[in-house]
Structure 1
Amino acid sequence: MPRFTFDQAADFADAAREMADAGRPTLARLLAEEAADRTPDPDTAARILGEFPGRSLRQED
């Protein structure tokens, strides 16, 4: 089984789109949030999150 490495914002954004297409909006939103966090440009981060609207689903301590 291949192992996938996610280390760039684009990897997470692509995975978020795949999960959205697969009908998994919660996972898509979480992946989009990670993509946005890894994006240095605030406008690009906002655009990524705009593709997956909703409130943050993270449970932070």
Structure 2
Amino acid sequence: MALFTFNRPADYLEAAREMADSGRPTLARLLAEEAADRTAEPEAAARILAEFPGTSLRQEG
């Protein structure tokens, strides 16, 4: 497993891909959502979320 610093959207995306590859789709989706939120371009954010399909699992209050 790689060590992540989570300073950039790409860090979250890399972690999401690793989680997906290791059979953790829920964690992968949450990390992808965070990457998308931190991405300035709406088109790029949409592409990130499309790579990890599903509905949001966040519990925001």
Provide the TM-score with structure 1 as the length reference: 0.93
Question: 2:4·2:11 contact (CA, 8 Å) conserved in 1?
Answer: no
Give the drift of 1:7. Answer: 1.2
**Count, aligned residues:** 59
**Displacement over 6 Å in runs of 4+:** none
CA displacement 1:8-46 (0-9 Å, x = unmatched): 000000000000000000000000000000000000000
Mark the structure with the bigger radius of gyration. Answer: 1
User: What is the SS of the residue equivalent to 1:54?
Assistant: coil
Query: Which 5+ residue runs of structure 2 have no aligned equivalent?
Result: none
1:38: which partner in 2?
Answer: 38
| Identity among equivalent pairs (%) | 75
**What CA RMSD, in Å, does the superposition of the two structures yield over aligned residues?**
1.0
